[in-house]
Structure 1
Amino acid sequence: MTDSRSRRRGSRALSYRNYRLFLSGAIVSNSGVWVQMIALAFVIEDLTGKGTWVGLAAMMQTLPAVGLGMVGGALADRFPRRIMLMFTNSSQALVALGFAAMWFSGVDRPLAYIALGVVNGCVNGIQLPAWQAFVSELVPRKALLNAVTLNSAQFNASRAVGPAVGGLVLAFGGPGWAFLVNSLSYMPAVLALALIRVPRLAAGTDGRPNLFTDAVAAVRYTASHAGIRRAVLIAGVIAFLGQPIIHLVVIFAQDVFRVGELKYGILAAASGVGAVLNTPLVISWGSRAPRSLLVGLAWPVYGLALLGFALSPNYWLAVVALAVVGASHIVTASTLNTVIQLQVTEELRGKVLALYLMTLLAGLPLGAQLQGALADLIGPRIAVGGAGALLAATALWWVLSGRTRVLNLG
């Protein structure tokens, strides 16, 4: 009977048609994003042979989203989020077609690919706050925790599926076909959004968004709520020290382990596989265990697993270490997102989530640029291993000092 209740809790959000549509479209489109991500990293590394360029490409794809994040949050609180998401998904499909056209036409300048990546980052900055906030419109509050966890699970499932598919496409078709696969992957997402029918939870605001006022409101609200404030800070630290490995895997694949496209895809998929394997445990325990306990266990393991990956003497041990990284990541990501979703008021949901996402989106590319440059100077093992050690030490200090307890509020 207990197992039956646990299964019902684990699938609560899936009992709602709108959420099922959203989740099915999301996993296909996000898998395509990962296909494109590893293809673009492969192109940049192949054209330049430099970790600094790989880090630069990651930074230039992501930083525009930081600058436009508050715009996206303000728009998400003023206009129908479903319509916004249909527009942004369609736009990203066109960007992917642009990447494919560049490759097939023989463009071999890395700056050209980086420039189109900037365009993609701009669209992503508008989309992400609406994407996160839209979840609250699809399920009632009693199912929100489960919906957020499943949303994190689908994102991490795409991290498993996308790179594996990308590795196969790179091996047998090349980057151009990988970009085309991503473009086609947006079609199910747009169709699913077209079929969803939801009432708006927050009334729209007439007039043009005042970005300064919106940013100040989001910062003040976040600063005055300890649980949200700590969740944002922790997410930023993890993004800066831990998540850059997403982009730097290609350096380990080609320069450390010296494997081909297929094994590169497997290595890139490993963290997603670990996240998927750990998802049932997160769903089962996520609504019962204190959120401070979940983060307090997963965060230090995240850093230690990253250190283990950097020091792995062979390829397959590195795959296992990245799987542990992914398993830890889904715990921290879904828990921190849930803290914010449960503690924020609906009227500020889009803007506060935008601030949270801007922190993530700033930390990841800056960390990737720094670690990529250090990889060129002192070697990728030392650069990434040092980041993992610092991440674990920071986590232990926060946990032992009791700073994570406020995550249980709300």
Structure 2
Amino acid sequence: MTAAAEAPRSWGGSLGAFRHRSYTIFWFGALISSTGTWLGNLTVPYVLYQQTQSAVWVGLAAAAQFGPAFILAPLGGSLADTRDRRKLLLWTQAGLGVIALLMWAQWASGLHEPLLLILLLTCFGVLNGMNNPAWQSLVNDLVPREDVTSAVTLNSLQFNLARAIGPALGGVLLATLGATWAFFFNALSFAIVVVSLLFVRRHPSRAITRAGGRFAAQWKDALAYIGGTRAMILAIVLCCVVGVLGNPIFSLTVVFAETVFDTGPVGLGLLTAALGAGAVGYALAGAIVRSRRSLGRRAAAAMIALGLALCLIGVVPTLVLGIVAAMAVGAAFLAAFATLNTTIQLLAPDQLRGRVLAARHMVFSASIAVGVLLCGILTDVWGVQWATIAFGAALVVVALLVALLPGWRFSLLDQASASPDAPISESDSPL
């Protein structure tokens, strides 16, 4: 960390943010925390499916984890715009760590009750709804404006590195030490990120203008802005489409592993890690080669690619081919989500940033909950392959309809390119 933080000013491009000590500490802490979170995101559906043999329970777990954000994100957005974001994150991350520790205690004690695990996940979702807007906004506070693009790229990279490392580590732990140790290491990762936040400070050049007024007035301003900006409406709606139709694959890899590819925890870990590896490949390629396509064209191409990749993973017969298809899904998902999320962040004014991101997180979390639950039901009825193919085909159809819809075409997203505001983060854990 010290070497990275003391890097010479000549550093630029995608590595420029690493010359700032606070950002570097935050990045490594976030990498460890995200790795633990993805380890937990593999362990929870695995143990639930082992206990119940039902994809509906897997869907309920995702709904419990992300559903509360629909209710709590507005409060999180206002807190991010009116409070010290670092101190807010210290409290929320500590609370999330306590809940993760309770999950470990439940499993270590032998109390393998699905309903209790769902209850703990709901509490986790409540705190995460208040945590997420501040987490995203803090990235912007740790570097000067000229290094925000670098911070975006590196933040996206750490999130997707964790998506690759966490499930692979989880597969090994589940196959060797069992679920109890997987839950324990997830809880430990929160302790590490809390310690890292103690050493993080806002960059001197980043003056924070905190919002005033009452909660209702704050959100009246934010919603008036969102409702009056067609490009923002389209970007948020398309984020929801990606959440409903594209995200369920991340929770249902356990069903693919057991019912389609007939593999154990290690194969499950590799399959889930492949989703992250594909995203890492996209993030690295994006850091090296800057696309010349407009935001609208990038969003359209990414959504169609994601739909086709989902159809592909729905038809491949072997684990090896499934891993290849999962990498394609991971790359396409990040391409779609990062493009839409960056559009939202470019459009959002600085003084409304926390609340706009909270609104996006709120509806996106709700879309994840709906999508995973719906796909879980269809999986129990049709099988996971046909359910995934149906969702992929629907995603392609929606993308084609938007491309042809007068007044609401993808080109509307190009308005974000003219905004003077820089994006905060291209990565946001849907899980």
In the TM superposition, what is the alpha-carbon distance from 1:186 to its structure 2 partner? 1.8
Instruction: Indicate the SS of the match to 2:409.
Output: coil
Number of the residue aligned with 1:232: 236
- What amino acid sits opposite 2:320 in the alignment? W
Cα distance, 1:257–1:155 mapped onto 2, change above 3 Å: same
**Alignment counterpart, residue 154 of structure 1, candidates 144, 148, 158:** 158
Is the 2:308–2:396 Cα contact (8 Å) retained in structure 1?
yes
Name the CA distance, whole Å, in 1 between partners of 2:294 and 2:212: 40
TM-score (norm. length: structure 2): 0.89
Per-residue displacement from partner, 1:5-33 (whole Å, max 9, x unpaired)? xx932223333332222211111101100
Is the 1:239–1:360 Cα contact (8 Å) retained in structure 2?
yes
The answer as to 2:403 corresponding to 1:403 is no
In the TM superposition, what is the alpha-carbon distance from 1:276 to its structure 2 partner? 0.8
**Alignment counterpart, residue 210 of structure 2, candidates 204, 224, 231:** 204
Is the 1:149–1:334 Cα contact (8 Å) retained in structure 2?
no
In the TM superposition, what is the alpha-carbon distance from 1:265 to its structure 2 partner? 0.7
Q: Which is worse superposed, 135-144 or 262-271?
A: 135-144
Per-residue displacement from partner, 1:116-167 (whole Å, max 9, x unpaired)? 0001111110100111111221223333333223322221111101100111
Number of the residue aligned with 1:194: 198
Number of the residue aligned with 1:312: 316
Cα distance, 1:225–1:17 mapped onto 2, change above 3 Å: farther
Cα distance, 1:406–1:145 mapped onto 2, change above 3 Å: farther
- What amino acid sits opposite 1:41 in the alignment? P
Cα distance, 1:334–1:20 mapped onto 2, change above 3 Å: farther
The answer as to 2:327 corresponding to 1:323 is yes
Name the CA distance, whole Å, in 2 between partners of 1:353 and 1:396: 27
The answer as to 2:186 corresponding to 1:165 is no
Name the CA distance, whole Å, in 1 between partners of 2:55 and 2:387: 11
The answer as to 2:129 corresponding to 1:121 is no
Number of the residue aligned with 1:383: 387
Cα distance, 1:339–1:131 mapped onto 2, change above 3 Å: same
Q: CA RMSD in A?
A: 1.8
In the TM superposition, what is the alpha-carbon distance from 1:205 to its structure 2 partner? 4.7
Number of the residue aligned with 1:359: 363
Number of the residue aligned with 2:246: 242
* Structure 1: 5+ residue stretches without partners: 1-6
Instruction: Indicate the SS of the match to 2:201.
Output: coil
Name the CA distance, whole Å, in 1 between partners of 2:347 and 2:221: 15
Name the CA distance, whole Å, in 2 between partners of 1:184 and 1:34: 13
Number of the residue aligned with 2:35: 31
The answer as to 2:219 corresponding to 1:181 is no
* Structure 2: 5+ residue stretches without partners: 1-10, 420-431
In the TM superposition, what is the alpha-carbon distance from 1:351 to its structure 2 partner? 0.4
Name the CA distance, whole Å, in 2 between partners of 1:241 and 1:217: 31
Cα distance, 1:285–1:232 mapped onto 2, change above 3 Å: farther
Is the 1:70–1:214 Cα contact (8 Å) retained in structure 2?
no
Instruction: Indicate the SS of the match to 2:123.
Output: helix
Cα distance, 1:96–1:90 mapped onto 2, change above 3 Å: same
**Alignment counterpart, residue 350 of structure 2, candidates 346, 351, 361:** 346
Name the CA distance, whole Å, in 2 between partners of 1:407 and 1:193: 35
Is the 1:51–1:376 Cα contact (8 Å) retained in structure 2?
yes
- What amino acid sits opposite 2:98 in the alignment? L
Name the CA distance, whole Å, in 2 between partners of 1:227 and 1:152: 23
Number of the residue aligned with 1:18: 22
Number of the residue aligned with 1:263: 267
Number of the residue aligned with 2:220: 216
In the TM superposition, what is the alpha-carbon distance from 1:206 to its structure 2 partner? 6.0
Name the CA distance, whole Å, in 1 between partners of 2:234 and 2:145: 22
Which residues in structure 2 correspond to 1:52-91 (within 5 Å)?
A: 52-91=56-95
Instruction: Indicate the SS of the match to 1:77.
Output: helix
Cα distance, 1:194–1:36 mapped onto 2, change above 3 Å: same
The share of aligned pairs that are identical, in percent, is 37
Per-residue displacement from partner, 1:344-391 (whole Å, max 9, x unpaired)? 111111000001111210111110000001111111111111001111
Instruction: Indicate the SS of the match to 1:313.
Output: coil
Name the CA distance, whole Å, in 2 between partners of 1:142 and 1:294: 24
Number of the residue aligned with 1:99: 103
Cα distance, 1:235–1:289 mapped onto 2, change above 3 Å: same
Cα distance, 1:341–1:27 mapped onto 2, change above 3 Å: same
Is the 1:307–1:384 Cα contact (8 Å) retained in structure 2?
yes
Is the 1:148–1:334 Cα contact (8 Å) retained in structure 2?
no
**Alignment counterpart, residue 253 of structure 1, candidates 253, 257, 264:** 257
Q: Which is worse superposed, 358-367 or 294-303?
A: 294-303
TM-score (norm. length: structure 1): 0.93
Number of the residue aligned with 1:4: none
**Alignment counterpart, residue 278 of structure 2, candidates 274, 280, 288:** 274
- What amino acid sits opposite 1:93 in the alignment? G
